[in-house]
Amino acid sequence: MLSNLEEFLANCNKTFGEIFQELLERAEDREGKSISLEKLGQRTQYSKSMVERWLKSEAIPSDIAVLEKLRIALNCTEQEYALMVRAFACDAIIKELRKKGFLPDDEQ
């Protein structure tokens, strides 16, 4: 039987950046036009370069309030928003586990 941590990690199959990229593409398909990273940055009160870091999985938003702003900006469905929150939580927990030495840097 898997431990709670192993079970949790097994459900973290996509990073926040991967989910964010998918949601950005879906939003662009719904709108019929591209959504600029600058506009997303303005709507979340972050720079374009930080939004790019989120897309590359180099960083995650600072808190859930930013996710809510992204949900609105990307016009996410409830299911899409739930995927984004789950990926955010997974990445945040994995980051802390790595920082504390419970996980190696390359495991996810």
Task: Tell me the per-residue pLDDT of 14-63, one tens digit each, with 9 for 90 and over.
Answer: 999 999 999 999 988 777 888 889 989 998 999 999 999 999 999 999 99
Give the pTM: 0.86
Q: Answer yes or no: is pLDDT of 108 > 70.
A: no
CA 75: distance to chain centroid?
15
Number of domains in the chain: 1
For 24, the domain range is: 15-99
Q: What's 94's domain CATH number? A: 1.10.260.40
Q: 104 in a domain, yes or no?
A: no
Q: 79 in a domain, yes or no?
A: yes
Q: Specify the DSSP class assigned to residue 40.
A: H
Kindly report, residue by residue over 50-105, the tens digit of the pLDDT. Answer: 999 999 999 999 999 999 999 999 999 999 999 999 999 999 999 998 999 888 88
Quick one: the chain helix, strand, coil %, rounded to 5? 65, 0, 35
Q: What is the pLDDT of residue 103?
A: 84
pLDDT tier at 5 (50, 70, 90 boundaries)? confident
Q: 1 in a domain, yes or no?
A: no
69 burial level (CB within 10 Å; 0-12, 13-18, 19+): middle
Q: 30 in a domain, yes or no?
A: yes
Q: What is the pLDDT of residue 106?
A: 66
Q: What is the pLDDT of residue 3?
A: 75
C-alpha span between 15 and 20 (Å, rounded): 9
